[in-house]
Structure 1
Amino acid sequence: MSNNIRKNFDKEAILEMYAKVSKNTLMETLGIKYVDAGPEYLVATMPVKPEVHQPMGLLHGGASVALAESLGSGASLMLIDPETQEIRGIEISANHVKSKRAGLVTGTAKLIHRGRMLHLWEIRITDENGELISLCKITNIVIDRRK
């Protein structure tokens, strides 16, 4: 997305694009759906069902991290020109503070730092009641697209 498109931010176009690029990916496998976007935030939901459980019947921490990385990387994509640049996650951390057996979780990525080469995002994963399930942080690097 070019800077010109960012100035004329089109939330519906962004969400439609993420729905298309999620086909046949881990996001589709986990049921992740992008539901809201702004110039410095991105929101997605993920159903909590047996496919994302660990053996004790709870939301797997890895599924939460996959949601967080999908959001953080997707959010960084909104800040670059994808014709000339790409995003790579270089570090992610997660604190899982509450368990979840069923329902829906919502992840919200908010921009903490936007540098020329590094983006830092905080991703809060909450349940239907707004209670914090996981708090994550991702650092992405902006690289030149190889031709």
Structure 2
Amino acid sequence: MQVPDDLDPELVERLVASGGGELAVKMGIDFLELSAAHSVARMPVEGNRQVVGLLHGGAHVVLGESLGSVSSAIHAGPGRFAVGIEINATHSRSATEGWVTATCDALVLGRTLCTHEIVIRDEAGERLSTVRMSNLLRDVR
């Protein structure tokens, strides 16, 4: 996993120890690059398909939210945390096999709010879905 040098050590420790969280581990999500402005992860289609053999739409959202949340937490910095307040997804194509890759780019990195757009593509580079997520940044009490 590629992470910036100035990343909060406590956040890095939590990410490494948890594999990105229990659900991310169950889904097989691999975090490849992490930063507030740009992050990348991938996920296998196998094990994440719905009954007719397509990658489940909810799996797209889990992948997108995993990246958007971590990117927002990175931006929040030490002593702060990110809480998801809105997410939506538009599915354009489907996948039945292989891996999908999500690229997360910041639209807004504010003092109290982050918004990211996450584009999920198949191995051929075709856009499968677009996820947009907003996170509220809070201080740890």
TM-score range, shorter chain: 0.7 to 0.9
**TM-score normalised over the length of structure 1:** 0.84
Match of 1:3 in 2: none
Shift of 1:144: 1.3
1:67-87 CA distance string (max 9 Å, x none)? 0000000111111223x2111
Match of 2:41 in 1: 44
Shift of 1:33: 0.5
2:39 equivalent to 1:20: no
1:98 maps to which of 93, 98, 120: 93
Contact 2:36–2:72, Cα closer than 8 Å, also in 1: no
Match of 2:134 in 1: 139
- Inter-CA distance 15–103: structure 2 relative to 1 (3 Å threshold): farther
1:86-132 CA distance string (max 9 Å, x none)? 11100000001001001000011100011111000000000111110
2:61 equivalent to 1:71: no
- Inter-CA distance 126–15: structure 2 relative to 1 (3 Å threshold): farther
Identity %: 38
Q: How many residues align?
A: 136
Match of 1:111 in 2: 106
Shift of 1:8: 4.4
Match of 2:29 in 1: 32
CA root-mean-square deviation: 2.2
Separation in structure 1 between the aligned mates of residue 72 and residue 20 of structure 2, nearest angstrom: 19
Separation in structure 2 between the aligned mates of residue 126 and residue 117 of structure 1, nearest angstrom: 30
Separation in structure 1 between the aligned mates of residue 21 and residue 77 of structure 2, nearest angstrom: 24
Unaligned runs of 5+ in 2: none
Contact 1:119–1:141, Cα closer than 8 Å, also in 2: yes
Contact 1:85–1:143, Cα closer than 8 Å, also in 2: yes
Task: Indicate the SS of the match to 2:96.
Answer: coil
